[in-house]
A and B are shown apart, each in its own frame.
Chain A
Amino acid sequence: MNKRFSSLAALGLLLFCSRTWAELVVEITKGQADAIPIAIVPFTPPDAAPGAFDVAQLVSDDLARSGRFRTTDRKDMIEQPHTGAAISFDDWRRLNNDYIVVGQVQPLAPDRFNITFEIYNILNRQRLLSYQISANQPGLRLASHQVADMVFEKILGIRGAFATRIAYISVLGSLPHRSYRLIVADSDGENPHVVMQSNEPLMSPAWSPDGQNLAYVSFEDRLPSVYVQLLKTGERHRVSARAGVNQAPAWSPDGKKLALTLSTRDGNLDVYVLDLATQALTRITDDPGIDTEPQWSKDGQSLYFTSDRAGGPQIYRIGIQSGDKPRRLTFQGSYNARPRLSPDESQLAFVTQEDGGYRIATMDLRGHGEVQVLTKGHFDVSPSYAPNGAEIIYASRDRGRGVLALVSADGRVQERLVSSEGELQEPAWGPF
């Protein structure tokens, strides 16, 4: 984990040493009424070195941000124990807390820390977990997200996704002098690093399944090309620069192939599969309409995609074996596009048109194909699932500005990530 951090930091230093970045601020716009009350007691004793990293605060912020927890304010804490033995359960219970997390951060060496923590159920005084993580100074942030992940999982039974990353496009400047940046940040928007920068559009970032590479579209030659870039070193390869359209890369689950959209000479867009090792290209769809925005099924045997073969854009599924006929999945409404599959394949998230606005919707893939529209904006596009499937990040508009927003997969919790500069677009949530 520290390795990943230091290499990311090194990349940032190498490429963009003089840049400082405005961080994203999170606003919860719609919380969950039955959020679980929890107290995250400060891990560091009051006599600790000033400026020490506040692990408990970050854990508390993560849990509050999920909308599923209501965290106790520090000034309302009657005591600040660091071990389970020191907790006065009756007092915490009287303050209506269901759970409490206590812990410590101990320096082991000049740049080495040990985080120990315990999770207790206040009602029955039972310890749910006792755990220890060690980290260096730059690794403390990631370690804190991992603590939050464990609390989340222990209490809700869902794997936490706080210690993951997101990629997105940030557009700066006003016309005609725009600059486009591909950025990778922590899931809370902190720690942003520029992966690629261009005066021409960058589009459609896609994580490789192992989280090591990003595929994306760059117009840096005033023509579209698909690139694959290794995040650790910044080394990148142009994998598709064919005549016409080169768009919408999507990694196969084994990371060996890319589905992408290419065009024939007369501009007919179809979905293809490119084998990255052999460069072998297989055509998957063959229709005079626009076929694009492919997304793989988990077994790597079929692709979900957008097609306007029936008039307006709708979502289809096709097996990658030759001769398979695509099957249409969406029938409600005149515009359904850009499918994204939930990690457990129980749901499909996509963009739908409703009341003149573009919104994020989900379709139940296990039952009767029930559609639920999750958002209320006019320009909500580019949905991407968290790797635990609990949340969907998407691009939205807030007072004329492009922002990133999150909605829980059931639509109950909504929040916004607001950046102080730039138009934010096309978030892609990385793997665990």
Chain B
Amino acid sequence: MKRILSIAMLMAGVALLCGCPKKHNVIEPPAAGSQVSGSNTGEGASTSGRALEGDANAQGNGMGGANATGPLAHRIIYFDFDKSEIKPEFAELITAHARNLTSHPNLKVKLEGNTDERGTREYNIGLGERRAQAVRRALMLQGVAESQLLTVSFGAERPAVEGDDEAAWAQNRRVELVYLP
């Protein structure tokens, strides 16, 4: 974990230096029954207590004072096979982000839909989009403006983890909330 964080901080440093957009999330394996927190450049940095307000590349930008252990730290919603319904355990996550977005109307979030590797690649793009749209609708139902939300589907093309078993698939069927600069 420490190593992941230091890598994240290093990446954050590199991102700050070269001003290039964040490329990938560093994901720590989830404990059973818990959700994976997408620890990324901004988050790694905010964990260390660095203020990132005002930095265009930081994920922590405008997070309404949330810290990495708060509900906003969780940015991945997982789905059952071939499903796009949001499971009850993610209601709290959705609500936290909806509050954050409604109280910071200048914030924008990209909802990245993903599927596991099974099935045809282009049909999976459709499934990933459907999942991203489910999260979009849930956020809009809680008052988030349409203009704050953007969806994209990567289908099965950008898995979070490698592997062709249910454990890997479960982590890949997901929507990631990515706060845009």
Q: Residues of A at under 8 Å CB distance from B?
A: 174-177, 199-201, 203-204, 219, 222-224, 244-245, 247-248, 261, 263, 266-267, 269, 290, 292-293, 306, 308, 313, 335, 337-338, 351, 358, 379, 381-382, 397, 400, 425-426
Contact = CB atoms under 8 A, between A and B. Distances in A.
A397 B120 contact: no
Given A176-B23, A379-B164, A267 B119 contact: no
Between B24, B110, B122, B154, the greatest number of chain A beta carbons within 10 A of the residue's beta carbon is seen for: B122
Contacts of A397: 164
Nearest to A177: B24
Contacts of A219: 154, 157-158
Nearest to B117: A379
Interface residues of B, number: 34
Interface string B106-135: 000010000001111111011101101100
A288 to B, nearest CB: 11
Contacts of B130: 267, 290
A351 B121 CA distance: 11
B84 to A, nearest CB: 10
B123 A176 contact: no
Interface in B77-126: 110, 117-123, 125-126
B162 interface: yes
Contacts of B56: none
Contacts of B27: 176
A263 B129 contact: yes
B144 to A, nearest CB: 15
29 contacts: A175-B159, A175-B160, A176-B23, A201-B157, A203-B122, A203-B155, A204-B121, A204-B122, A222-B21, A224-B152, A245-B125, A248-B122, A248-B125, A261-B126, A267-B133, A269-B129, A290-B123, A290-B127, A292-B122, A292-B123, A292-B125, A313-B120, A337-B120, A338-B123, A351-B119, A358-B119, A379-B118, A381-B119, A425-B121
A144 to B, nearest CB: 34
B153 A245 contact: yes
A400 B164 contact: yes
Contacts of A308: 123, 126
Interface string B144-158: 000000011111011
Nearest to B111: A267
Contacts of A174: 162
Contact of A222 (B119, B132, B152, B155): B152
Given A224-B152, A244-B151, A267-B136, A381 B129 contact: no
B26 interface: yes
B133 A266 contact: yes
